[in-house]
Chain A
Amino acid sequence: MIEIRNLHASVEGAQILRGIDLTVNAGEIHAIMGPNGSGKSTLAQVIAGHPAYEVTEGSITFEGQDVLEMEPDERSVAGIFLAFQYPVSIRGITNAYFLRSAVNSIRKAKGEEELDTLDFLDILEDKLRTIGWDDSLMNRPVNDGFSGGEKKRNEILQLAVIDPKLAILDETDSGLDIDALRVVSDTVNKLRRPDNATIIVTHYQRLLNYIEPDHVHVLSAGRIVKSGGKELALELEARGYDWLKEESAQVVGSTG
């Protein structure tokens, strides 16, 4: 579904990603872990197209399309969705209006008919029912005055309504209490299908107790330094990240 090759990216002149290679196939869940500052969130933002990041080398291909040539909204239309680590609040615009605009923008760009308010509300209510939520956040301005947990829930609601091919969850678990974590992970599990994929960016192993990844990658200093199955996450939880930093230093040293 998505192929990332030798991806280098910098922000304000500082090199953050130093050669990422990653392939995610339909039906898979990948977890990307790593210490603070390793480049996890940068990778997520670069895939979604944040204009502050400059890609200096490498490629990202999504279903055969050159992602780096696409505007952020074109990436969204193609089926890429980023659940933000720090969701932005939007003055005056209610969640319901925002979600309908998002869905209709994507439909319009695909040449599909836009939904009127009633049709959209049917879909929204159906999604809310599926994930077991009420509509209490719907008529409040997007993320404005939301608690940290509400903001993360709201990202997951957008994910459910937009129903992308590739979902990237950027530290969606950070700061969530155990109940909220369960709600978020239940939703992600319910949305899982053979024709979609998920990349979970996380600092903690905890989320992976609820969402079982097919692959776990460890990012350090802008590179994937280790990949493995879900057991790698447990090892990280037990041993921390320091042993990997040493290993990667040796790798870098030996390859010159």
Chain B
Amino acid sequence: MTQTAMTTTDRYVAQFEAVAGNGAAAAPAWLKSLRSNAITQFAALGFPTTKQEQWRFTSVRDIAEKAFRPAETVPQVDLTALEPYLIGDMARLVFVNGRFAAPLSSVNDIPDGVVFSSLTDALANHNDIVEAHLGKHVPADYNAFAALNTAFALDGAFVYVPKDVTVENGLHVIYVTSFEEDGALTTPRNLIVVESGARADVIESYVGLSDRNSLTAAVSEVVVGDNAQVECYRIQRESENAYHVANTWSTQGRDSNYAFHTVPLGSRLTRHDIRMVMNGEGGQGILNGLYVTHGQQHVDHNTILEHATPHCESHEYFNGILDDHSRSVFNGRIIVRPGAQKTDSKQTNNNLLLSENARADSQPQLEIYADDVKCTHGATLGPMDQNSLFYLQSRGLNADDARNMLTYGFGIEILDRMKVPVVRDYLDGLIRSRLAQYRPKQAAS
């Protein structure tokens, strides 16, 4: 470790001491110990460097050197400022700079027994469920950012759906950041527990209202019970001066159906570690992502599909549309544990490069410890296919329209796997308006 890295780690530890001695005193003992263990683990881990295989293409040196401070001020945010980010009339929890904003939230029409609240409220009212799961699925020592989140997490969303209950409408969690100065850290923490036979759709939105340089270190833990059906969505539109590092881990039971859809459009740097653990026979998982990048954006997905039990299916699809000098990294691991026979796992990563300066790195990894399995992976990258363009033009579309249709198709292919129509349509609008920005540049090239 270099001297600089030690110093920054120390600075975060010092901040932790201040926070722990300050506001976090009300936390239950188990949580205090989880946090103090996490800061110890963080100090031991240090920030990752590009010498580590899993971080080879993504440098976080900037983050390490800048020593972000937990956000302290909470500005006034009006509901009108949030309107572009609301989806349909879903129930919502809104957090501003990491703190729960009750006046902006709306949790009407929630079925009996379902809990959709801030984690702070959940600690007061449902401590047993929170204690049973928080920190159990994303180990704090997985990486420095998981540890940072666990140590500093002030609040976040708690979703609990009891056995056999169906939540018809989506549950929307919105994290808004708005800073007057550079250097703020927020640590959103989500816990989603859907018991056996239950159904729910949960949407996480990350929204940046200011242009400041900031760091979001988010963690979500998703527990899908036997025979449960869960769709989770994640829409990230933070400032293009922000760093966004996230860990989303799920574990799913027998015969369950879980889909995780992620659409990162914002932030200067996005690093997202996603681990889906198939932990009961007959489970089905879908991991479905679309990144659309431009400027200097860098987006890195480090994903693991882990089959711990036999007869499970997992399908992973990531498409990327990259313009300007932007860059993507995709690292997709499939792990099949001993005895997880009849595993069926498929992974694809397709990248469309709209600029000669854009770059995509894609790396599949298979770790298979069972002998009767079907695992496939494939990756593509390249500029727009000239034969495809000619095909569309020969059907009457002009060159611009043909390019736009091919680009849009790359995105819509991912959106079409989303089962909640209102979210799919909302994202369709977002992707269309994002791609419309690329129009003049494409026409000029």
Chain A residues packing against B (C-beta within 8 Å): 48-52, 71-73, 75-77, 81-82, 84, 87-88, 90-93, 98, 101-103, 105-106, 109, 141, 158, 162
Contact = CB atoms under 8 A, between A and B. Distances in A.
Contacts of A75: 394
B397 A84 contact: no
Given A102-B397, A158-B395, A92 B409 contact: yes
B394 A105 contact: no
Contacts of B394: 48-49, 72-73, 75-76, 81-82, 84
30 contacts: A51-B386, A51-B390, A71-B399, A72-B390, A72-B394, A73-B395, A73-B397, A75-B394, A76-B394, A76-B395, A81-B394, A84-B391, A90-B392, A91-B350, A91-B409, A91-B413, A92-B409, A92-B410, A92-B412, A101-B395, A101-B397, A102-B396, A103-B396, A105-B396, A105-B401, A109-B396, A109-B398, A141-B409, A141-B413, A162-B395
B390 A50 contact: yes
A247 to B, nearest CB: 35
Interface in B379-406: 385-388, 390-399, 401-402, 405-406
B57 interface: no
A141 B388 CA distance: 13
Contact of B405 (A48, A88, A101, A158): A101
B409 A90 contact: yes
A82 to B, nearest CB: 5
B85 interface: no
A156 to B, nearest CB: 14
Given A76-B395, A109-B396, A90 B405 contact: yes
A77 B396 CA distance: 6
With a 10 A CB-CB cut-off, give which of A81, A87, A105, A106 has the most chain B CB atoms. Answer: A105
A141 B416 CA distance: 11
A50 B389 CA distance: 10
A90 B406 contact: yes
Contacts of B398: 71, 73, 105, 109
A90 B393 CA distance: 13
Nearest to A110: B396
A73 B416 contact: no
Nearest to B405: A93
B192 to A, nearest CB: 29
Contacts of A87: 391
Contacts of A82: 394
Given A73-B396, A141-B413, A93 B390 contact: no
Contacts of A51: 386, 390
Contacts of A50: 390
Q: Top 10 closest A-B pairs, CB basis?
A: A92-B413, A92-B409, A72-B393, A102-B395, A92-B412, A106-B396, A105-B396, A76-B396, A88-B391, A93-B409
Contacts of A88: 385, 387-388, 391
Contacts of B416: 92
Contacts of A71: 393, 398-399
A141 B394 CA distance: 18
B411 interface: yes
Interface string B341-361: 000000000100000000000
Contacts of B405: 90, 93, 98, 101
A75 B405 CA distance: 19
A90 B409 CA distance: 7
A97 to B, nearest CB: 9
A91 B411 CA distance: 9
B397 A92 contact: no
Contacts of B390: 48-51, 72
B132 to A, nearest CB: 41
Contacts of A48: 390, 394
A93 B414 CA distance: 11
A84 B385 CA distance: 16
Contacts of B55: none
A71 B396 CA distance: 10
Interface in B403-444: 405-406, 408-414, 416
A39 B388 CA distance: 22
A73 B395 CA distance: 7
A90 B396 CA distance: 15
Nearest to A48: B394
B391 A162 contact: no
Contacts of A77: 396
A162 B411 CA distance: 27
Contact of B396 (A49, A84, A91, A162): A162
B318 to A, nearest CB: 13
Given A50-B390, A51-B386, A105-B401, A93 B396 contact: no
